[in-house]
A and B are shown apart, each in its own frame.
Chain A
Amino acid sequence: MNMDSTIEFLANASVIRVEAWPGRPALDFIRGDLGLKGTKEGCREGDCGACAVLVGERLADGGFSYRATPSCLLALGELDGRHLVTIEGLASCNGGLTPVMKALLEENGSQCGFCSPGVVIALTAWLIAGERIDETGAVIAVEGNLCRCTGYGAIRRAAKRLVSDFSGLPAGPMQRLAALEKAGVVPPALAAWVMEEKGAANSDAGMAGGLSGADNGETMVSAGGTDWYVRNPDPVGGYHPFFIGREKAYASIEAAYPGAEARQRGLVIGAAVTVHEFFTSAFVNSIVPGIDSFESQVASSLIRNRATLGGNVCNASPVADLTAILMALDATVVLAGPEGERETPLARLFLGYKKLDLREGEFLARFLVPASRSRFNFEKVSKRRHLDIASANTACAIEVEGEAAAPRVVRAAISAGGMAAVPLRLWKTEAFLAGKIVDAKNVREAAGLAVSETRPMSDVRGSADYRRRLLERLVIAHFIRLFPEAGLAEELFP
């Protein structure tokens, strides 16, 4: 059966129209069919950034975005209606050397050169859309790019140069893009494409018949693809990918009760909302104050641009960071299927190792996250602090009453990842904590109880014993972080 469909997009300055299987990794199309060899394959699992490209998108609200993403984890079909910019596109700028390239050259930030195109792409994306044009912002932009030669010093110095050259960029996205075009950072094709009278690539059609073939296994729901392509680095087709992220209904965050104050009612979060959108959402931060501070512990900026909440949950890894976070936030999932929608608590979605309570033809459509008065914390330890999968993670939402030095727990929700075949809610620990004063004795006891609720395995990310020790410490860490006035650190670590 022919699974090809028509895909039309702008590649740098050329219109590309192909009949192709939309699930094909964009990287292979870029290097193979387009012959754009500047985009490199380093790992084929989103861990090195060598294949990063810019993907431009016209948004439903009339705005636009250009984001850097690893093309090894990007479906060709996702490019439909979008603008692909590769290193060749950037090198087409006036004179061939953009200020980003020049900065790298001047600081000798390119040694073997294999990572350089990806670094240029990531830094360019940061200049186009970075929330902060400072050194920290630049480092976050390139945190998903591995360089084995420079030790990063020269790349950091190049970034500093760019910070001083571009700190005065205008605030409006379009003005900023125009300024960058003028400075030769991006070619004119970007602004020209954004201005085209074509409207957003997103549809408002909901499912749009996307799962029509689901019952015979011919359709596969693809969110960001960042986990799926890691498991299927060389997919051969045989199904229609349904790009859930292209449906506005699944890609936005809204207050549960339009008109009501978000803080009181909670949120509806589309399954295809990206990790970056989630952490930076004003809505999300209004009901979970400070949650944005945990963003950098999850994946890399390149991945966070693509990875989605629904994808992270449905990949069913027992150590998924977003699962741990959403579980502690008491999220409910809405599952959509041929018979309509049903709701189930997220904590009940996991039936066994990599096994979900998803029926034939069903997919995860959205999350319902209730508002609460809890304090929230997320703890994660991995071998490498960034872009690494946790040895163990845990999130916790605790509501307390009483004085700051000795608060009393009203209600606690604590999740634990990497501690069993499925992500866990630590129900017994939560029950124990209810009504207890936050003091060293109770915290120590809760940590011990938490460990007793788990059945971790040994693997490359840590032994079972280590995971137990780690969880014990991370549960303690929740309390030390959330209740700085309770004097726990001094008592527990004299």
Chain B
Amino acid sequence: MNPIPESVLNVKGQTRYIDDLPEAKTLLHAAVAASPCARGLLKGVDAGAALALHPSIRIITAADIPGVNQLGTAVADEPLLVAAGSEWGFRGQALALVLADSVSLARRAAGLVTFSFDELEPVLDAREAAAKGLIILSPRTQAMGDTAAAFASCATVISGRVESGGQEHVYLETQAALATPAEGCAMRVISGTQHPTGVQEGIARVLGLPMHLVEVEAPRLGGGFGGKEDQAALWAALACLGARVTGKPVKLVLSRKDDMRMTGKRHPYSSDFRIGVDSGGKILAFEADYYQNSGAICDLSPAILSRTLFHAASAYRIPNLRVTGYMCRTNLPPFTAFRGFGAPQAFFVIEAALDAVSRRTGIDGAKLRRQNLLCDGDSFHFGMPVENCRARLSFDRLVEKVKWESLRRNIDSHNAKDPLVKRGAALMPICFGVSFTKLLMNQGGSLVHVYKDGSILVSTGAVEMGQQVSRKIARVVALAFGVGIERVRVERTTTLTVANTYPTAASTGSDINGMAALAACQEIRARLLVEAATLLGAPAPELSMESGRVMRNGSPTPLSWDELVTRTHEARIDLSAHGFYATPDLVYDMKSERGSPFAYHVYGCAAVTASVDVLRGTWRLDSVSVVHDGGESIDRAVDIGQVEGALAQGLGWALLEDLRFDEKGKLLADTLSTYKVPDFHFMPEKVDVEFLEGFPNHRAVMRSKAIGEPPLVYGIAGYFAVLDAIAAARRTAVGGEGPGLYDIPLTPEKTLDCLMGARP
């Protein structure tokens, strides 16, 4: 195998993340003094004790902001620093910036800054916020058919409530930024962001500069997962503010604890559903109300809610559907993008509804799900036709692969014999729409240089954060030029090389940026082939490039890549190009909630088995099997890594990661010793990922499919596998009617409570 150059640096410890960069002698380190309670009115900042600590200490407040004290885009509710006389909205919100000679001093001084304020009554619960009218923008509804009429004709109608908790990203590299003042009032920033242009825009606004004076570079990130999409701008802008005020470079690296308490996480949801089926189990109607706990700041909540609504029906055909989402403003940290982006919460609700149906009616869960799967010719509830549907294909392949029926029988016979360990299994399909649901964002640019020695440099808007998008783009480029991948270097994203980018998010990183890179390559390639035609005296249409050589009608010519490049350059022909791509055929009318907002959908199916220790109330994941619709993979190793990584995060969300706040809005799980993410032992030894072969996707680069987010949703099957095992242990707890409450994460505490009948 050809190792990924960046990975070689990783394993040797030579990758430079922001905190590893050489430091200027004049560098100042920053820390943030944050709000001490969930909601308060700031009256004043007392920096006396902090300043007394060391002469190098500087305290910067909202009054020092030269431009507009606002980072919010959808809603202007996100001040850089809360100004005296204003309210803050969550515990951990930035009130003052502290600068010092060393990071240790800065952090200690930040702890010494005190505030005079009036403490105000916080609202923490989404439903309470909704009842009080604390709704961001307005509720949004999508509907198809006539649910009221349909429910009347159903054999079974079930209502229920579903809760899903928040999730901390735990990117291993915390939020970080390094700002360096440049000539004039220009600013150069290295920011750990998935969205360089967003950071650039925020800084420009806060410093009162045009965007062309702000250069933002996104180096390789130590993980992002959505947490550095909108949430990185604040730290970069604060570093810039410090740099502007002092004229010195400023580095801001959050400690893990500050990162956990100050930054956004996955949105907790509280939802109500109502589902109706006919006597055979065919879904006739589904309704849901999603109360999204949006936290104190709007952030990306509207886009996340939008994805919830689009995925309300998962991979199922539901002729009558009505779903409404509420963005509830509370006094918790700003909940934000996290891999899956509102879809996992929606999938959990519909899966819970189907679980309830299966338990009530006695219809086998797998049969129930299969008979309701989408097919070509159906349409999604927002009017988009279902095309190239692989729901049944992947479902059936999975059932065959795991031998579902015999697996179930084995579990039942085990459970009949073992009083202390019960096993369970669950199976679920997915259907995940790819594209930003905000149309505007589905565009991207690239810049490709072929240097005269034949080496190639590619820049795109795709930020590398471990998802190995660079690998995929390098492959696309290498293939376009017919050269080995070692010739291609994918450069970090900066606003100098590619302008007006959109975040590397929504699984679209390689789709959009790969296409943009390809567009630039094709332009250069055409120029090269014209030159080759001259050199070889052959018509250009007969020529192609492969294996580092120009080919004529598929046969090698004497003209090598190196020579062609040299000769083309000597002929004074441009070896650089800018590429651009806008995802075609996307239309959506927000008013009627109708259109085709996605380029295509990703399908797949997962089966999870788990064991519950009846005595201790603990669970263990035994196996995960996945059949995934990944199109033609650009790089299979990368795709497997994405599926396995997403699975771990999805299973972690469903079972383990317990984002707890106290009754005053203080995050209790604010360190890695209290907030546990999947470790080596958590993941089952047996994780079997199979890709559907032979199903190219003609709507993305190199017939591939986006891979980042969809597999995270499979984690939900982990919840239902454990629930199934609990049901085997205590039929009355979750058998029959199903649990009174479907509640993620299903921690050992909840498991034992279920087993001992202490929960509904």
Cβ–Cβ < 8 Å partners of B409 in chain A: none
Contact residues, B3-17 vs A (CB, 8 A): 3-4, 6-17
Cβ–Cβ < 8 Å partners of B669 in chain A: 460
Q: How many A-B residue pairs have CB under 8 A?
A: 244
Check: B236 CB closer than 8 A to any chain A CB.
no
Check: A389 CB closer than 8 A to any chain B CB.
yes
Whether the pair B681, A385 counts as a contact (CB closer than 8 A) is yes
A110-B11, A115-B172, A143-B681 known; A151-B616 Cβ under 8 A: no
Whether the pair A45, B104 counts as a contact (CB closer than 8 A) is no
Write the residues of chain B forming the contact surface with A, with a CB cutoff of 8 angstroms: 1, 3-4, 6-17, 19-20, 104, 107-108, 169-173, 220-223, 225, 255-256, 419-420, 465-468, 614-618, 620, 637-638, 640-641, 644-649, 656, 658, 660, 668-669, 671-674, 676-683, 685, 687, 747-749, 752-753, 756, 758
Cβ–Cβ < 8 Å partners of A142 in chain B: 680
- Complex: how many Å from CA A39 to CA B465? 19
Contact residues, A88-146 vs B (CB, 8 A): 88, 91, 96-97, 101, 104-106, 108, 110-117, 120, 139, 142-143, 145-146
- Complex: how many Å from CA A116 to CA B676? 20
A111-B466, A112-B222 known; A146-B673 Cβ under 8 A: no
Contact residues, A448-466 vs B (CB, 8 A): 459-463, 465-466
A47-B671, A384-B656 known; A40-B419 Cβ under 8 A: no
A86-B13, A120-B11, A145-B680 known; A154-B107 Cβ under 8 A: no
Whether the pair B420, A387 counts as a contact (CB closer than 8 A) is no
Cβ–Cβ < 8 Å partners of B255 in chain A: 44, 233
Cβ–Cβ < 8 Å partners of B13 in chain A: 37-39, 86-88, 91, 116-117, 120
Interface of B is mostly: loop
Most buried by A among B13, B618, B645: B13
Whether the pair B14, A91 counts as a contact (CB closer than 8 A) is yes
A115-B172, A460-B660, A466-B753 known; A381-B676 Cβ under 8 A: no
Check: A494 CB closer than 8 A to any chain B CB.
yes
- Complex: how many Å from CA A47 to CA B685? 22
User: Interface with B: A344-352, A395-403, A469-477, which one?
Assistant: A469-477
A112-B173, A148-B170 known; A41-B618 Cβ under 8 A: no
Whether the pair A113, B6 counts as a contact (CB closer than 8 A) is yes
Whether the pair A473, B749 counts as a contact (CB closer than 8 A) is no
Closest 9 CB pairs of A and B: A38-B13, A112-B466, A113-B10, A87-B13, A114-B222, A151-B648, A151-B644, A47-B672, A111-B466
From B220, B649, B668, B681, give the contact of A112 (CB < 8 A): B220
Cβ–Cβ < 8 Å partners of B20 in chain A: 37
- Complex: how many Å from CA A110 to CA B637? 11
Cβ–Cβ < 8 Å partners of B617 in chain A: 381, 469-470, 473
Check: A150 CB closer than 8 A to any chain B CB.
yes
Whether the pair B11, A116 counts as a contact (CB closer than 8 A) is yes
From B6, B647, B676, give the contact of A383 (CB < 8 A): B676
Whether the pair B615, A477 counts as a contact (CB closer than 8 A) is yes
Interface of A is mostly: loop
Cβ–Cβ < 8 Å partners of B169 in chain A: 148
Interface size on A, residues (CB 8 A): 81
From B11, B221, B752, give the contact of A104 (CB < 8 A): B11
Cβ–Cβ < 8 Å partners of B4 in chain A: 105, 108
Cβ–Cβ < 8 Å partners of A149 in chain B: 223, 466-467, 641, 645
A385-B618, A385-B681 known; A148-B104 Cβ under 8 A: no
Among residues of A, the one whose C-beta sits closest to the C-beta of B104 is A234
Among residues of A, the one whose C-beta sits closest to the C-beta of B8 is A105
Most buried by A among B7, B637, B647: B7
Cβ–Cβ < 8 Å partners of A50 in chain B: 172
Most buried by B among A44, A112, A234, A476: A112
Most buried by A among B617, B645, B682: B645
Cβ–Cβ < 8 Å partners of B646 in chain A: 151
Check: A178 CB closer than 8 A to any chain B CB.
no
Whether the pair B172, A146 counts as a contact (CB closer than 8 A) is yes
Contact residues, A363-387 vs B (CB, 8 A): 379, 381-387
- Complex: how many Å from CA A87 to CA B15? 12
Query: What would 10 A/B residue contacts be, using CB atoms closer than 8 Å?
Result: A48-B672, A112-B172, A112-B173, A112-B223, A114-B222, A115-B172, A147-B172, A383-B749, A385-B681, A386-B680
Whether the pair B748, A383 counts as a contact (CB closer than 8 A) is yes
Check: A489 CB closer than 8 A to any chain B CB.
yes
From A48, A114, A386, A469, give the contact of B17 (CB < 8 A): A114
Whether the pair B640, A116 counts as a contact (CB closer than 8 A) is no
- Minimum CB–CB distance from A288 to chain B (whole Å) comes to 22
- Complex: how many Å from CA A113 to CA B11? 7
Whether the pair B681, A386 counts as a contact (CB closer than 8 A) is yes
Whether the pair B172, A42 counts as a contact (CB closer than 8 A) is yes
- Minimum CB–CB distance from A466 to chain B (whole Å) comes to 5
**Chain A 25-54, CB within 8 Å of chain B: the 1/0 string?**
000100000000111111111011010000
Among residues of A, the one whose C-beta sits closest to the C-beta of B223 is A112
From A112, A460, A476, A493, give the contact of B171 (CB < 8 A): A112
A104-B11, A151-B687, A493-B419 known; A389-B6 Cβ under 8 A: no
Cβ–Cβ < 8 Å partners of A28 in chain B: 104
Contact residues, A384-418 vs B (CB, 8 A): 384-389, 391
Whether the pair B678, A151 counts as a contact (CB closer than 8 A) is yes
Among residues of A, the one whose C-beta sits closest to the C-beta of B224 is A112
- Minimum CB–CB distance from B665 to chain A (whole Å) comes to 14
A460-B660, A494-B419 known; A153-B748 Cβ under 8 A: no
Check: A208 CB closer than 8 A to any chain B CB.
no
- Minimum CB–CB distance from B474 to chain A (whole Å) comes to 14
Cβ–Cβ < 8 Å partners of B677 in chain A: 146, 148
- Complex: how many Å from CA A283 to CA B671? 37
Cβ–Cβ < 8 Å partners of B679 in chain A: 143, 146, 152, 384, 386-387
Whether the pair A105, B108 counts as a contact (CB closer than 8 A) is no
Cβ–Cβ < 8 Å partners of A43 in chain B: 256, 671-672
